[in-house]
């Protein structure tokens, strides 16, 4: 029986501007997303029928509430395939964290089923299918460093911002993306995406750190001040800049000194248990 193993990487938003709410209820965004080395590991096997999901994470959904399941349903329906799939998910990316763990799992599932079922779908076709299931799935299929616009469907590769140290900390709260978007008011002040792209193209980590920004951050911090506390600890102990990723609540710190990052991790572990050292890729 054929078995496929896929790595499923998380992401952070180096900058996230919310432009306006569209008539369809979605929000138009302008963001730079960055793939990171923190990852889940998914193992896929064909079975006679149905979808079986197993995981080391006790609360991860095993049914149609999981994007892995939705991908299997979608591809089965689109291509008239009546085959079952068993998926074993080793979770490292925390859930409901603003790191696109679920979307990344969905992207890995699209790639795996494309191979297992010999569908011969291009990346563009996979992105089109993925967009119907989740706004972050297209980026997770592309990876790297990208300008992400619209509701997540317009992707433009930009110069890689790889090999940079990141410290991640998820506090003891979870925030749903839908809940976060309901709380925000986009406002008229825009974040300078063009300047951030220039900083990345120049490989200037200090310039990138100064330009970190997230239009969701202020309103989420008002509800959950622990996010600001984490940012303050990171910046006190050497982060060039710190920011809440996506809809939160995970905070990442950008470092140019690994020893300082390790020391900051120790300080955070005195208060939190989900603190991760990783890199941009």
Domains and CATH numbers, the chain: 3-157 (3.30.230.10), 165-279 (3.30.70.890)
Under DSSP, the state recorded for 97 is: S
> What's the pLDDT at 178?
76
Distances (CA, A) of 196 to 151, 163, 200, 209: 20, 17, 6, 9
Q: How far apart are CA 196 and CA 150, in angstroms?
A: 18
Tell me if the bond preceding 249 is cis, omega within 30° of 0.
yes
Q: Which residues of the chain have pLDDT under 70?
A: 1
Whole-prediction pTM value?
A: 0.94
pLDDT at residue 183, rounded to an integer: 79
pLDDT reported for residue 1: 58
For the chain, strand residue ranges (E) read 3-21, 27-47, 51-55, 84-90, 145-150, 154-157, 165-169, 213-214, 241-244, 251-255, 275-279
Catalytically annotated residues: 11, 136
Contact of 280 with 200, CB cutoff 8 Å: no
Contact 21, 57 (CB under 8 A): no
Ranges of H-type helices in 80-157 = 101-116, 123-131, 137-142
């Amino acid at each position: 029986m054929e078995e496929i193993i896929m790595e499923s990487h998380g992401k952070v938003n180096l900058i996230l501007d919310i432009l306006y709410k569209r008539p369809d209820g979605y929000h138009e965004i302008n963001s730079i997303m960055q793939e990171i080395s923190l990852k889940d590991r998914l193992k896929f096997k064909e079975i006679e029928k149905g979808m079986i999901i197993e995981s080391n994470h006790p609360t991860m959904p095993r049914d149609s509430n999981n994007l892995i399941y939705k991908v299997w349903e979608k591809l089965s329906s689109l291509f008239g395939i009546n085959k079952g799939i068993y998926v074993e998910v080793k979770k490292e990316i925390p859930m409901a964290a603003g790191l696109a763990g679920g979307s990344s799992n969905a992207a890995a599932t699209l790639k795996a089923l494309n191979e297992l079922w010999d569908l011969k779908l291009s990346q563009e076709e996979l992105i089109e299918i993925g967009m119907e299931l989740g706004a972050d799935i297209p980026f997770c299929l592309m990876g790297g460093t990208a300008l992400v616009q619209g509701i997540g469907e317009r992707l433009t590769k930009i110069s890689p911002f790889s090999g940079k140290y990141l410290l991640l900390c998820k506090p003891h709260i979870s925030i749903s993306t839908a809940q976060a978007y309901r709380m925000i008011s986009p406002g008229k002040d825009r974040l300078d995406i063009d300047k951030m792209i220039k900083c990345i193209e120049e490989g200037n980590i200090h310039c990138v750190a100064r330009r970190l920004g997230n239009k969701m951050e202020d309103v989420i911090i008002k509800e959950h001040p622990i996010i600001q506390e984490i940012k303050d600890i990171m910046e006190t102990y050497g982060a060039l800049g710190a920011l809440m990723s996506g809809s939160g609540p995970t905070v990442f710190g950008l470092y140019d000194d690994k020893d300082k990052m390790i020391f900051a991790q120790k300080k955070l572990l005195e208060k939190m248990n989900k603190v991760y050292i990783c890199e941009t890729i």
